[in-house]
Structure 1
Amino acid sequence: MRFFKIILLISVIFIGSCSSERNTFTNRAFHNLTSHYNAYYLSDVKIKEVVTEVQTNYKEDYTQVLPVFFPIDSATIQANKEKLESARDLASKAIEWHRISKWVDDSYYLIGKIDYLQGQFDDAQNAFKYVNVNSKDKDLRHQALIALLRLYVDLEEVENANFTIDYLSKESDIKDENRYELYRTLAYYYEKRADQNGVIGALDRTIEYAKDPKEKSRINFILAQRYQREGLDALAYDFYQKAQEGNPPYERSFYSQLFAQQVAELNASKDLKKVRNYYESLYKDPKNRDLKDVIVYEQALFEEKQGDIPLTIDLLHQAAKEPGSNERLKGYIYEKLADIHLDEFRDYRATKYYLDSALTYIPEGSPAAVQIASQKETLDQFVFHVERIQSNDSLLVLSELSEEDQRVIAEQFIQSEEERLIAEAKAQEEPESSGIFDNLLAFADRGSGSSTFYFDNGVAMQQGAIDFYRTWGDRPLQDNWRRRAVVFDNSESETLEDEESGEEVEEESNPLNQLPSIEDLLAQIPSTEEDISTLNQELEESYFELGKLLYFDLSEAENSIENLEVLVREYPQSSRKPEAYYLLYLAQKDQNGNSQQYVSRLNREYPESQYTYFVNNPDAASGNLAYIESSKRYEEAYNLYYSGKFQQAGQLIKSTLEDYPLTRNTERLLLLDIMVTGKLESKARYRERLESYIENSEEGALKELARNMLIPLLSSEELAALNPVDSAAVESDSTNVAENDSTEISNPLPDSPFQLNDSQTHIVVLVMSPDEAKEAQGVVGDLEVFHAKNFSNARLRTGEMNMDRENAIFIISPFTDGEKAKTYFEKFLTDFESDKISDQIKNNSFFISIENFQVLNRTKNIEEYRAFFKVAYQ
């Protein structure tokens, strides 16, 4: 009876302690125990499992600098959705069921981590902020702040990140585990900002607090990579050696040894044979079977440093064929081949095709892929026009021959292709190692590569296939017994399908299927005047577009001249001829050639052309060089200021003002220098300089900006005495929009004298009255600043001319096609600012093709073109 009473008493105490409302010692002990080792513990384990899986699934690319944090793969997170939701449910129970336990805030922190992994950044931010504000556990608050810092870095919220860093830097008693995460997150912060020194400094501190040997090895490897890229080989060598400690994965250990040898011995060694033997030994090591492409690639880079470009190219080709565990490396190999063919040989065609190959291996959307795709745009156009010129030229030459001669050439082409296929098969024959037992095999010479057994000899098989084709034609691989077997098969339809699919595979693998028939080749030769005319039109377009590409995008003035000369010589009636003359004028001028001949031709043949105006007024197109240079430096200083590099910004401003003391940028540079003062010096000095600027400046808009900057520094009495800003001069955009919308389209597109041709060169036109044109003289400078900031590589020019007594125009040119003109025009409407022209002039501007401008220059009917412009482009 006493025993049952004791059990009953314990049960009552236990049941009473389950209450989350009673804050007694027994209740707290119970809830601390159960929330920690049940809900919280299990939730934490599940989260760690998901994080581990993210790291395991990520394929490290050791040829590139490793990221500080493993990227979070959304596919892995989605695959673990149930596990994360289970972890969230457990953490929520720890909060709801055990409200008086000391693990409630820790559970909120876990929920924040789950939200972060699932990309719910707002919820994660709220959870971390809640923990930081409410938790009494200093270590947990530090954890939450560090997690919050990483989130700010992800979201590129620099100011919040800087505030968090500043706050944590003033905190004391941060335990080692949190310091490790803090310095690692700081390294991530500097990595995002491309601050190499910052990353190295933060990772150096991270190493001091790292406890996991494998993670320590990884950080050492990152430091080694970064030191190597900084040219600090001795430091890089030490860290590569340290990266081999802690039982790292074999691949990291391999790269550590390879790169350590590079920085310590290979780069400095004058014994080339020793270096090559080193790579050879790595290549032969069975453990490196899946890393052969890496070894050959690194040897290629070494040979490139020795200046042996042919050997480098051979090794890169070999590396592309070797087996490997990292697909991306193939992309880097092809990218390297593209770089060599561009830099060494200026072979744009080969460069384009190598970049195409690179993109098949580098993941779409990655920075490398985006850069390659951008680089390839111009090369795609170049190759298209080059190949079209070659093809059309050949077809036009063939069209002038007799049918007998055409057939002979077609036969010779097919024969040469057959020989090429045989040569390729022979090149692919890899002789196996011959040994003393080879003569015991059923077929002699099997290991020699010149086998007498037909199916062991690829060259013989290729030759046999060609002989069969010559005798029997394109006959399917099928014979009598196979057809008879089909008749007795119960599953007749399935068997036939299998046979047909098998024959398709055999047909696809037959190299002769790559060859066209003679009839196919002859059918491509133009036989009518219409076909010949189409080919000539395409040639005319390609010569012109190729000339533009070579001059504007590839800076190949000499080759540009060759193609444009062909255009004006072979197609003297071309509508592109005036622009071709203008491009030839520019190219010859760049080459210090005879540019004046094209000035004469334009004045003689096209006196009313816009291009004639440009060559007669070269200064209007070139602009103020000092102003352009100071504009570039202003933009650079501005970017330095807003990236927090105030000291560097101040130095650049000072040197710019010394080199270019009197330009239209001077006032802006001075104001930017005052903003730097506000960051580096006292408020009193900042205020003093602002007041002086307001008193002395003549630029109204900049003076108003300075006044607004001064307001936060004024007292309430000073603010009260301040006159309100007169805003009556500010025009409403809505009025201009209404005016534009009221324009009626008097002529529909089909009846218009203008024609839509996006492939032509276009210009942007600002129309104004002669009086407005006089007041707008400074707009050219504002346009040059706008161009330097937004279209620095476009070689844009600005000019002015009178169209008639009522209309003067400012012209921005050239744009190689309508799409580029439209891109500029949209940017111009939204971002261009100038007090030299009204909003109405800006909003009534338009862009126009050269042919249409010539029509407009004759008709002088601007409203008619505006109607066309609205239909065609808007």
Structure 2
Amino acid sequence: MNTFRYLKYTLLLLPLLALLHGCSPESSGLVGHAYHNITAKYNAYFIAREKLDEVLLRLEEAHEHNFNKTLLVLSPIDTNIVMSDSAILADVIKKASIAIQRHKVSKWVDDSYILVGKTRMLNREYEESIETYKYVNVNSDDKQTRYKALINLIRTFVEYNEYNNAQAVIDFLLRKKLNKENKIDFYIQAANFAQVTGDPNNLIKYLTLATEIMPNGDNKARMHYILGQLFQKAGLDALAYENYEFTIDNNPPYEFFFHARLNMAQVTELSEGADVKKIRKYFEQLLKDGKNVEFKDKIYYEMAEFELKQNNLSKAINYYKSSVRESVNNQRQKSFAYHKLGIVYFEDLKKYTLAKAYYDSAAQTMPKDEEIYDKVYNRQQVLADFVKQINTIETNDSLITLAKMDTSALNQMFEKLRDERIAAEEEEAKRKRKEARNQGEGSQFNGFSGENTFTQNSNSSGKFYFYDASTVATGSAQFKRVWGDRSLQDNWRYESGRITQTDAEKLPPDDVTAVNNATEDTNNSELSAYEQDKQAFYASIPFKESKQQALLVEVEKALYTLGNIYNFDLKEKTDAIETYKTLLERFPQTEYKPEMLYLLYVYYKGKEADKSEQYANELTSKYPETIFAKLVINPNYQEESNAASAKVKILYEKAYSAYDTLNFDSASFYVQKGLENYPENDYEDNMKLLEALIVGKTEDKNNYLFKLQEFVKEYPNSELVDFAKRLMTAIEDYKKKIQALGEIKYIPYFDQAHYFVVLYENNKALSGLLPEAIESFAEKFYPDENLNAGNLVFNNEYSMILLSEFKDKKTAESFYLKFNSDLSPLKNFSSLSFDSFIISKDNFQIFYQAKVPDSYDQFFKDNYKLAP
């Protein structure tokens, strides 16, 4: 009976024992495999994958698509999100590690390793991620799992900037037979690699392959949208249209749906006027659609782009401006509209002041991560200088023209300008009242009337509306044309002082009286607005010949600068040449003439031989010593000069090295060799200044000063001139200092109380630390002297610690020696510079009043014999 029971219980326990044996990490039996597969998948791998997917989804959602550029195939890795989710990612690795370590025989081990590799990549632990994927590739028994690891390895290599390795993996996988899931992932990773490395052909290739086998959905819609952008950029409108249609067919998020519809209008092939009307109507429908309220700025922008293609500048400008108004929360889109307005006003309409204003706005609003930001910023800087020169030329020429007009013509001009301004102000006031009424009715933008409104604003010389940057610029230009360029100050209309007799001759008697009466008391003037305007008008005119000449000098320089901006910055050669010719015609003796002749010679060379030769002959005959003439005679002059400069540079370095080591004879030898053997090189001014420095070390100060003065006179444009001038100033200061030292007389009477002084450069921290340190030292070694330390400001550069007072010279000398021994309390401040000495009570008064730190040095050395 007992034997039977034993067998019965044994049979019942066998399944349990088998199950327990299968729980072992290394168990490979049928039961063990089943147990480990189920447990690894649902207790570890599944949880790890879900957590990782949460982080990946957050990265995807956080990425804002910039539809004005080609969208990214893969969302970038936002390190801020990764850091905020660091605990979750750590748990991913922990859960994946459980599947790896506790269920070694399950089929989810390799997949868990891949999760670890992805997590390492997100954490920017690239080398660990690479090793993880390589481990799976080497050790996995399943080919597709190995391929999956390699596919993910591509992303890690891309993030790690290991592009050669990424390409090698792609080339390897192209030769393998991947399953459908791996194919899709591979094509996406390969497309991302192509996008990052700037390979549009392969980007299109891999995206096309991916979309052919991808299931419908948001991701497929995104890939089709990117393909549409790529084909549109390449000018393949039919293929672009097709891919935008596929985007919509995949029922994407509305943002993609909207931009796909918008872009379809751009790539529609137009053949007849009816098609143009159809597209315009399509845009109008988009504007009316309530779902597109937040996209109105983009719709207006694309409407402007469409009209620009139809060469309808007026409509394009109005739509760009509408885009600006509607871009309330989208600075990026607003900046694009500003930029396009700047381009239109500059390239098409040649309204440079307005173009500059719009480029200003574009540069201010455009995010710096835009690819074109640097280009926009640089153009804005160029246009700022460009408009400055244009305004200088126009304003100065207008003022000089006014100065040459007779009184009657001037009065007529004043009346005309004043009437125009008043009319513009009245028109502006009407427009503003109308706009206020429209706003009150809930139609904020109904008052906008396109270019006409813009022009009205710009004509108003007294009231400008600053919501539009270009209005400010236009108003400013209009003001300058009428009143001149004035500084920002109160009562700008009045010019200080009464008008001169010369000025008065230009004015009618009544006007002279009015102007002089007005300037008697500008703050309490009771002149009418008409009289004030007239007075300001006449006060702005440069009647004096000297003022006109000063304005012409400005015009001459502005023409030179303007021509170079055209030539070198804007690459507008024709405009540059016309500007250069104008400069030579108006200012035949200009200092820029040799350069102008050379640039004209270069421009016409190969185009019009006669003109080119004419400019070359004038240049070489009248200005033979200039570099420009030498370049005409010898086109290799610059290269030869550069070669000479390279040789002189070596000699200069040898000379300076010898000078630096106080070997002045060798330094002088190398300098003379360079100057004699290689005249006219880029290092000539360096050599000459070094020659002067050598004189400063070997001869008296007068010769040194003379050499520096010669250098400044001979090389006025050298970058070293300011340094030479500082040296000259230092020599003069030194002379004054020597003179001052000679006038300070110390008294050789020592039978009196003495002070101990520490002189140091001004330092707030030391002024609190030093007195206490010195006083503690005195208490320790001279307790019976009852010494007190105080801080005094000596001059702008130095302060002093005064320790007082020693009863006689001998005790002071003893303290000085002790203080400057190894026991010195200043050894803790070894990196700083101090000067210590003892001084009699009478001499201290002289020293402190003289305020010359070096004045006591020689007296101290001669009379105390203690100076270290």
TM-score band by shorter chain is 0.5 to 0.7
2:382 aligned with 1:382, yes or no? no
Q: Does the C-alpha gap of structure 1 residues 165 and 615 become closer, same or farther in structure 2, counting only changes over 3 Å?
A: same
Contact 1:217 1:242 in 2 (8 A): yes
1:798-842 residue CA offsets vs partner (Å, 9 max, x unmatched): xxxxx9983377899xxxxx9xxxxxxxxxxxxxxxxxxxxxxxx
Worse-matched range after superposition: 282-291 or 371-380: 371-380
Please name the residue that 2:109 is paired with: 104
Match of 1:606 among 623, 645, 663: 623
Letter in 2 for 1:166: D
Please name the residue that 2:770 is paired with: none
TM-fit CA distance, 1:240: 2.5
2:83 aligned with 1:66, yes or no? no
Q: Does the C-alpha gap of structure 1 residues 324 and 224 become closer, same or farther in structure 2, counting only changes over 3 Å?
A: farther
Match of 2:562 among 528, 538, 546: 546
TM-fit CA distance, 1:210: 1.2
Please name the residue that 1:425 is paired with: 432
- Alpha-carbon distance in structure 2 between the residues aligned to 1:365 and 1:433: 40
Match of 2:290 among 283, 286, 289: 286
Contact 2:99 2:108 in 1 (8 A): yes
TM-fit CA distance, 1:290: 1.9
Contact 1:558 1:587 in 2 (8 A): no
Contact 1:109 1:128 in 2 (8 A): yes
Please name the residue that 1:182 is paired with: 186
Please name the residue that 2:128 is paired with: 123
Please name the residue that 2:149 is paired with: 144
1:332-355 residue CA offsets vs partner (Å, 9 max, x unmatched): 322322333343234454444333
Letter in 2 for 1:221: Y
- Alpha-carbon distance in structure 1 between the residues aligned to 2:156 and 2:12: 52
- Alpha-carbon distance in structure 1 between the residues aligned to 2:576 and 2:110: 70
Please name the residue that 2:47 is paired with: 42
Please name the residue that 2:245 is paired with: 241
Letter in 1 for 2:626: S
Structure number with greater CO (CA < 8 Å, separation at least 6) is 1
TM-fit CA distance, 1:550: 1.5
Please name the residue that 1:709 is paired with: none
Q: Which residues of 2 match residues 832-851 of structure 1 at below 5 A?
A: none
TM-fit CA distance, 1:253: 1.8
2:656 aligned with 1:744, yes or no? yes
Please name the residue that 1:507 is paired with: none
Please name the residue that 2:677 is paired with: 806
Contact 1:35 1:98 in 2 (8 A): yes
Q: Which residues of 2 match residues 88-103 of structure 1 at below 5 A?
A: 88-103=93-108
Please name the residue that 2:59 is paired with: 54
- Alpha-carbon distance in structure 2 between the residues aligned to 1:363 and 1:7: 75
Q: Does the C-alpha gap of structure 1 residues 220 and 564 become closer, same or farther in structure 2, counting only changes over 3 Å?
A: closer
Letter in 1 for 2:280: R
Worse-matched range after superposition: 390-399 or 73-82: 390-399
Q: Which residues of 2 match residues 848-867 of structure 1 at below 5 A?
A: 855=714
Contact 2:435 2:446 in 1 (8 A): no
Q: Does the C-alpha gap of structure 1 residues 610 and 234 become closer, same or farther in structure 2, counting only changes over 3 Å?
A: closer
Please name the residue that 2:165 is paired with: 160
- Alpha-carbon distance in structure 2 between the residues aligned to 1:741 and 1:420: 71
Please name the residue that 1:494 is paired with: none
TM-fit CA distance, 1:609: 1.3
Q: Does the C-alpha gap of structure 1 residues 71 and 532 become closer, same or farther in structure 2, counting only changes over 3 Å?
A: farther
- Structure whose alpha-carbon radius of gyration is higher: 2
Q: Which residues of 2 match residues 726-741 of structure 1 at below 5 A?
A: 741=653
Q: Does the C-alpha gap of structure 1 residues 312 and 124 become closer, same or farther in structure 2, counting only changes over 3 Å?
A: same
- Alpha-carbon distance in structure 2 between the residues aligned to 1:258 and 1:448: 25
Q: Secondary structure at the match of 1:744?
A: helix
Contact 2:211 2:223 in 1 (8 A): yes
Please name the residue that 1:793 is paired with: none
Q: Which residues of 2 match residues 323-402 of structure 1 at below 5 A?
A: 323=327, 327-387=331-391
- Alpha-carbon distance in structure 2 between the residues aligned to 1:111 and 1:73: 19
- Alpha-carbon distance in structure 1 between the residues aligned to 2:11 and 2:591: 109
Worse-matched range after superposition: 524-533 or 317-326: 524-533
2:174 aligned with 1:202, yes or no? no
Worse-matched range after superposition: 96-105 or 281-290: 96-105
- Alpha-carbon distance in structure 2 between the residues aligned to 1:400 and 1:387: 20
Q: Secondary structure at the match of 2:321?
A: helix
Please name the residue that 1:114 is paired with: 119
TM-fit CA distance, 1:37: 2.0
Q: Which residues of 2 match residues 649-660 of structure 1 at below 5 A?
A: none
Q: Which residues of 2 match residues 78-97 of structure 1 at below 5 A?
A: 78-97=83-102
1:103-138 residue CA offsets vs partner (Å, 9 max, x unmatched): 333233222212322333333323222322222232
TM-score between both structures, scaled by the size of structure 2: 0.56
Q: Secondary structure at the match of 1:72?
A: coil
Number of residue pairs the alignment of both structures matches: 594
- Alpha-carbon distance in structure 2 between the residues aligned to 1:159 and 1:20: 39
Q: Which residues of 2 match residues 415-494 of structure 1 at below 5 A?
A: 422=429, 425-426=432-433, 428-429=435-436, 431=438
- Alpha-carbon distance in structure 2 between the residues aligned to 1:268 and 1:366: 36
1:422-467 residue CA offsets vs partner (Å, 9 max, x unmatched): 36635744637989xxxxxxxxx99999xxxxxxxxx9xxx9x99x
- Alpha-carbon distance in structure 2 between the residues aligned to 1:740 and 1:168: 60
- Alpha-carbon distance in structure 1 between the residues aligned to 2:546 and 2:387: 26
Q: Which residues of 2 match residues 390-789 of structure 1 at below 5 A?
A: 422=429, 425-426=432-433, 428-429=435-436, 431=438, 519-520=491-492, 522=494, 541-561=557-577, 563-564=579-580, 576-587=592-603, 592=608, 594-595=611-612, 598-599=615-616, 601-603=618-620, 605-617=622-634, 741-744=653-656
CA RMSD of aligned residues (A): 5.6
Contact 1:292 1:324 in 2 (8 A): no
1:276-329 residue CA offsets vs partner (Å, 9 max, x unmatched): 333222222222222222322222222222222222212222222225775433
- Alpha-carbon distance in structure 1 between the residues aligned to 2:66 and 2:333: 8
Q: Secondary structure at the match of 2:357?
A: helix
Q: Does the C-alpha gap of structure 1 residues 154 and 738 become closer, same or farther in structure 2, counting only changes over 3 Å?
A: same
TM-fit CA distance, 1:44: 1.5
- Alpha-carbon distance in structure 2 between the residues aligned to 1:15 and 1:531: 107
Contact 1:348 1:379 in 2 (8 A): yes
Please name the residue that 1:75 is paired with: 80
- Alpha-carbon distance in structure 2 between the residues aligned to 1:431 and 1:740: 75
Q: Does the C-alpha gap of structure 1 residues 217 and 742 become closer, same or farther in structure 2, counting only changes over 3 Å?
A: same
Contact 1:411 1:518 in 2 (8 A): no
TM-score between both structures, scaled by the size of structure 1: 0.56
Please name the residue that 1:699 is paired with: none
Letter in 2 for 1:742: K
Q: Does the C-alpha gap of structure 1 residues 31 and 599 become closer, same or farther in structure 2, counting only changes over 3 Å?
A: same
TM-fit CA distance, 1:375: 4.4
TM-fit CA distance, 1:144: 1.7
Contact 2:648 2:678 in 1 (8 A): no
